[in-house]
Chains A and B, each alone.
Chain A
Amino acid sequence: MLRRALRLRLGPCLSGRGLGTYRGGSTLDWNGKVSEIKKKIQSIFPGGAWSPLYDTSHLPPERSDVVIVGGGVLGLSVAYWLKRLEKQRGAIRVLVVERDHTYSRASTVLSVGGIRQQFSLPENVQLSLFSAEFLRNINEYLAVVDDPPLDLQFNPSGYLLLASEEGAAIMERNVKMQRQEGAKVCLMSPEQLQKKFPWINTEGVALASYGLENEGWFDPWCLLQGLRRKLQSTGVLFCQGEVTRFISSSSHMETASGEQVTLKRIHEVHVKMDHSQEFQPVECAIVVNAAGAWSGQIAELAGVGNGLPGTMQGTKLPVEPRKRYVYLWHCPKGPGLEAPLVADPSGAYFRREGLGNNYLGGCSPAEEEEPDPGNLEVDYDFFQEKVWPRLAQRVPAFETLKVRSAWAGYYDYNTFDQNGVVGPHPLVVNMYFATGFSGHGLQQAPAVGRAVAEMVLEGHFQTINLSPFLFSRFYFGEKAQEHCIL
Chain B
Amino acid sequence: MAAPRAFLRLVAPVWNRGTCGVRGLSKAVDPEGSQRKGRTLLQFLTDRFYDVEAVREYLLRKQVLKVQKKNRFRDREWMRANERGLSSLEFRKLQEVPVEAVDASGCAINYQGLDNLLALKELQSLSLRRCPHVDDWCLSRLYQLADSLQELSLAGCPRISERGLACLHHLQNLRRLDISDLPAVSNPGLTQILVEEMLPHCEVLGADWAQGLKVGPEKQSRDAAGSPIPA
Contact = CB atoms under 8 A, between A and B. Distances in A.
Nearest to B172: A196
B163 interface: yes
Interface in A351-376: 355-356
A157 B166 contact: yes
A355 B140 CA distance: 18
A214 B141 CA distance: 9
A453 to B, nearest CB: 25
Most buried by A among B137, B163, B191: B163
B177 interface: no
**SS of A interface (majority):** loop
A398 B45 CA distance: 73
Interface string B172-195: 000000000000001100110011
Contacts of B194: 336-337, 355
B190 A212 contact: no
A356 B139 CA distance: 22
B53 interface: no
Interface in B123-171: 136-137, 139-141, 143, 161-167, 169-170
Contacts of A213: 140-141, 143
Contacts of B198: 336-338
A393 interface: no
A356 B136 CA distance: 19
B164 A156 contact: yes
Interface in A298-340: 336-338
B197 interface: yes
Given A212-B143, A355-B186, A338 B137 contact: no
A136 interface: yes
Given A337-B162, A337-B195, A338-B169, A156 B137 contact: yes
B58 interface: no
Nearest to A153: B163
B111 interface: yes
A157 B167 contact: yes
Contact of A136 (B111, B139, B169, B190): B111
Contacts of A214: 140
A156 B143 contact: no
Contacts of A279: none
Contacts of B164: 156
Contacts of B137: 136, 154, 156
Contacts of A472: none
A155 interface: yes
A322 B156 CA distance: 46
A155 B163 CA distance: 5
A244 B103 CA distance: 63
Contacts of A212: 140, 143, 170
A181 to B, nearest CB: 18
Interface string B187-227: 10011001101100000000000000000000000000000
Contacts of A154: 136-137, 163
Nearest to B190: A355
Contacts of A337: 162, 165-166, 169, 194-195, 197-198
Nearest to A195: B172
Contacts of B140: 156, 212-214, 216
Nearest to B169: A338
Contacts of A216: 140, 163
Nearest to A356: B190
B207 to A, nearest CB: 13
25 contacts: A153-B161, A153-B163, A154-B136, A154-B137, A155-B136, A156-B136, A156-B137, A156-B163, A156-B166, A213-B143, A216-B140, A336-B194, A337-B165, A337-B166, A337-B169, A337-B195, A337-B197, A337-B198, A338-B166, A338-B169, A355-B162, A355-B187, A355-B190, A355-B191, A356-B190
Interface of B: 111, 136-137, 139-141, 143, 161-167, 169-170, 186-187, 190-191, 194-195, 197-198
Interface of A: 136, 153-157, 212-214, 216, 336-338, 355-356
* Pairs A-B, 3 closest by C-beta atoms: A338-B169, A156-B140, A155-B163
